[in-house]
């Protein structure tokens, strides 16, 4: 850039720079109209974000700056309230000024939004510092309560005699069952006694051994979760800039798709979510209402996500939801859970990874997604390939790839965990494929018994029904057995097979 023209005196003034214009046109500043009157203003959050530097405590009232006064006329009761807040006698040294201000703003805003600014009895209103104290107390109670209720629940014995395991069979030996927060159990140094003797600062203040990055992350989150220790909420909430920390104490919450950054008031913190999960598990066992459960799990997952909680508890939430979805054949939800689980396992968070990696393979067999199947196999380590559920899934895959229906149906009869729910989804089309081959290879007839056994039907009747559903004239009774007239089947099963393979039906999958 040693251009001689740059320093020529005559030129620079003559050719004014264009860049100030081009650079500042990212947005056009618009002056805010001030003449809309009262009806419009309650929605405006502008007054609260404007003062970058709060007025010193000696100021008699945190009176809004002049330009804001134009826009909103504060009732005297509110002014008095603000004044009381900052009175020396009411100050609490354990509460920082920022917290107080944040709380104050929030209180006034909520009354403004609710339109109760003029009707509220501000003289009776608890001061922000009082509210903060109460909140801290509540949070403390919650975490104490969750410690108390963490005893084992009486195991529920599954009465089902089916060969498939139900999702509820799994819910007992959950590693993170109960409400012990994983980060508490993570740091083994802090025994229960430690925590009781100095509840506020046990695991954090103790000299810590060298930590993994993940542990550090968890602990950072813990500090956030234990908000009552330092700052319950950041002074000026900037929801988009990082994980929020919720303060909702409700156990149940309906799922609502987010369209804007979530508000902390609507999000449940992790200890509450632990109790939510316990409640949901109980309800699922008792009522089995899938619509309700699915909705609740979705909101539970959402709360975990917006707070960036990723630990063993997260894994168990996704695992349980995945199992329930599997049991109900809700593949859409199941797939969402499995995608998350894959990432969580990859991040090194413990869970039932072999079980779910096996499901993943079966799932992609069902959806006939070869690319994803290839990736799922590529994800496996040699040791994992020897694990029973995964080995089974890989065998199923290989049997299908080689079109070895004999082996395939043997694997179908012996599926670990809940894999049978997944295999059920594609067993029909594989039966059709096998029948199509049999019709071509074995002529003119086959014993029905042979088909029942080869294609793993539960009984001859079931096998007969399967065939009759396609053609009524293909079975014939002999003296002591029934035969399947392969020679007369023609292209019937061939067509049914191509139809079944043509489109994989992913119920509910978007």
Dihedral over alpha carbons 443, 445, 448, 450 (to 10 degrees):
-40
Q: Residue 17 or 27: which CB sits closer to another protein?
A: 17
Q: Residue 122 or 364: which CB sits closer to another protein?
A: 364
Closest CA to 54 of 82, 93, 23: 82
CB of 32 to another protein, least distance (A): 27
- Please state the φ and ψ torsions of residue 190, each to the nearest 5 degrees: -90, 100
Q: Residue 72 or 255: which CB sits closer to another protein?
A: 255
Q: What is the helix, strand, coil percentage profile of the chain, to 5? A: 55, 0, 40
What gap in Å lies between CA 463 and CA 247, rounded to an integer? 57
Q: Residue 401 or 461: which CB sits closer to another protein?
A: 401
Q: How far is CA 123 from the centre of its chain?
A: 43
CB of 15 to another protein, least distance (A): 5
Residue 451, H or E segment:
helix 448-454
Q: Residue 175 or 239: which CB sits closer to another protein?
A: 239
Instruction: Please give the full DSSP string across 242-273, using - where no structure is assigned.
Output: S--------S-------SSPPPGGGS--HHHH
CB of 180 to another protein, least distance (A): 24
Q: Residue 164 or 308: which CB sits closer to another protein?
A: 308
CB 265 within 8 A of CB 253: no
What gap in Å lies between CA 367 and CA 267, rounded to an integer? 35
**Integer Rg of the chain from CA:** 33
CB of 311 to another protein, least distance (A): 13
* Residue 393 burial (10 A CB sphere; 0-12, 13-18, 19+): buried
What gap in Å lies between CA 281 and CA 293, rounded to an integer? 9
Q: Residue 3 or 162: which CB sits closer to another protein?
A: 3
CB of 288 to another protein, least distance (A): 23
What gap in Å lies between CA 24 and CA 209, rounded to an integer? 51
CB of 384 to another protein, least distance (A): 14
Place of tokens 């959402």: 302
Q: Residue 97 or 481: which CB sits closer to another protein?
A: 481
CA-based torsion, 166, 168, 169, 173: positive or negative: positive
CB of 14 to another protein, least distance (A): 9
CB 451 within 8 A of CB 463: yes
Q: Residue 69 or 374: which CB sits closer to another protein?
A: 374
CB of 334 to another protein, least distance (A): 13
CB of 505 to another protein, least distance (A): 18
Q: Which two tokens stand for residue 91?
A: 């100050």
Q: Residue 210 or 441: which CB sits closer to another protein?
A: 441
What gap in Å lies between CA 206 and CA 190, rounded to an integer? 9
Q: Residue 97 or 346: which CB sits closer to another protein?
A: 346
CB 286 within 8 A of CB 304: no
Q: Residue 141 or 256: which CB sits closer to another protein?
A: 256
CB under 8 Å to 69, separation ≥6 — which residues? 63
Binding residues (CB under 8 A) for another protein: these are: 1-3, 5-6, 11-12, 15, 17-19, 22, 213, 217, 240-243, 257-262, 298, 301-302, 305-306, 308, 310, 336, 339-340, 342-343, 346-347, 370-371, 373-375, 377-378, 398, 401-407, 436-438, 440-443, 445-447, 450, 454
3-state secondary structure of 327: helix
CB of 142 to another protein, least distance (A): 24
Q: Which two tokens stand for residue 488?
A: 């007369």
Instruction: Please give the full DSSP string across 391-437, using - where no structure is assigned.
Output: HHHHHHHHHHHTT-HHHHHHHHHS--TTHHHHHHHHHHHHHHHHHHH
Q: Residue 86 or 493: which CB sits closer to another protein?
A: 493
Q: How far is CA 395 from the centre of its chain?
A: 31
CB of 85 to another protein, least distance (A): 32
CB of 417 to another protein, least distance (A): 23
H-only helix segments in 239-381: 270-286, 290-306, 312-327, 331-346, 353-367, 370-378
CB of 197 to another protein, least distance (A): 33
């Amino acid at each position: 850039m040693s251009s001689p023209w740059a320093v020529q005196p005559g030129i620079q003034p003559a050719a004014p720079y264009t860049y100030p214009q081009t650079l500042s046109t990212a947005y056009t500043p618009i002056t805010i109209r001030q003449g809309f009157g009262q009806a419009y203003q309650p929605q405006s959050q502008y007054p609260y974000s404007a003062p970058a530097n709060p007025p010193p405590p000696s100021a008699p009232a945190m009176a809004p700056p002049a330009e804001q006064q134009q826009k909103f006329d504060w009732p005297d009761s509110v002014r008095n309230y603000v004044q009381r807040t900052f009175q020396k006698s009411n100050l609490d040294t354990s509460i920082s000024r920022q917290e107080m201000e944040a709380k104050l703003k929030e209180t006034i805003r909520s009354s403004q939004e609710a339109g109760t600014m003029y009707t509220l009895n501000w003289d009776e209103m608890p001061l922000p510092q009082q509210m903060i104290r109460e909140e801290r107390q509540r949070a403390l109670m919650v975490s104490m309560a969750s410690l108390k209720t963490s005893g084992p629940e009486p195991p529920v014995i599954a009465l089902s005699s089916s060969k498939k395991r139900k999702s509820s069979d799994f819910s007992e030996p959950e590693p993170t069952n109960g409400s012990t927060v994983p980060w508490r159990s993570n740091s083994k140094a802090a025994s229960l006694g430690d925590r009781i003797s100095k509840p506020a600062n046990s695991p954090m203040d103790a000299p810590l051994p060298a930590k993994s990055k993940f542990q550090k992350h968890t602990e950072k989150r813990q500090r956030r979760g234990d908000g009552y220790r330092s700052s319950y909420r950041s002074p000026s909430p900037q929801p988009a800039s990082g994980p929020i920390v919720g303060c909702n104490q409700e156990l149940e919450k309906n799922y609502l798709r987010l369209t804007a950054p979530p508000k902390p008031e609507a999000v449940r913190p992790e200890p509450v979510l632990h109790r939510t999960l316990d409640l949901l598990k109980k309800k699922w066992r008792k009522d089995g209402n899938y619509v309700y459960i699915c909705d609740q799990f979705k909101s539970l997952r959402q709360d975990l996500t917006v707070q960036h909680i990723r630990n063993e508890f997260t894994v168990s939430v996704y695992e349980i939801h995945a199992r329930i979805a599997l049991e109900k054949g809700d593949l859409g939800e199941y797939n969402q859970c499995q995608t998350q689980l894959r990432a969580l396992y990859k991040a090194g968070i413990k869970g039932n990874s072999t079980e779910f990696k096996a499901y993943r393979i079966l799932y992609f067999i069902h959806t006939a997604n070869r690319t994803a199947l290839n990736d799922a196999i590529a994800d496996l380590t040699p040791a994992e390939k020897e694990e029973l559920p995964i080995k089974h899934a890989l065998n199923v895959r290989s049997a299908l790839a080689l079109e070895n229906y004999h082996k395939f149906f043997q694997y179908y009869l012996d599926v670990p965990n809940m894999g049978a729910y997944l295999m059920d989804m594609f067993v029909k089309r594989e039966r059709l494929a096998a029948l199509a081959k049999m019709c071509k290879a074995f002529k003119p007839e086959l014993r029905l018994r042979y088909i029942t056994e080869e294609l793993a039907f539960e009984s001859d009747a079931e096998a007969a029904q399967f065939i009759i559903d396609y053609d009524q004239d293909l079975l014939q009774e002999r003296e002591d057995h029934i035969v399947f007239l392969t020679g007369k089947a023609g292209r019937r099963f061939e067509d049914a097979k191509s139809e079944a393979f043509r489109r994989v039906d992913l119920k509910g999958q978007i």
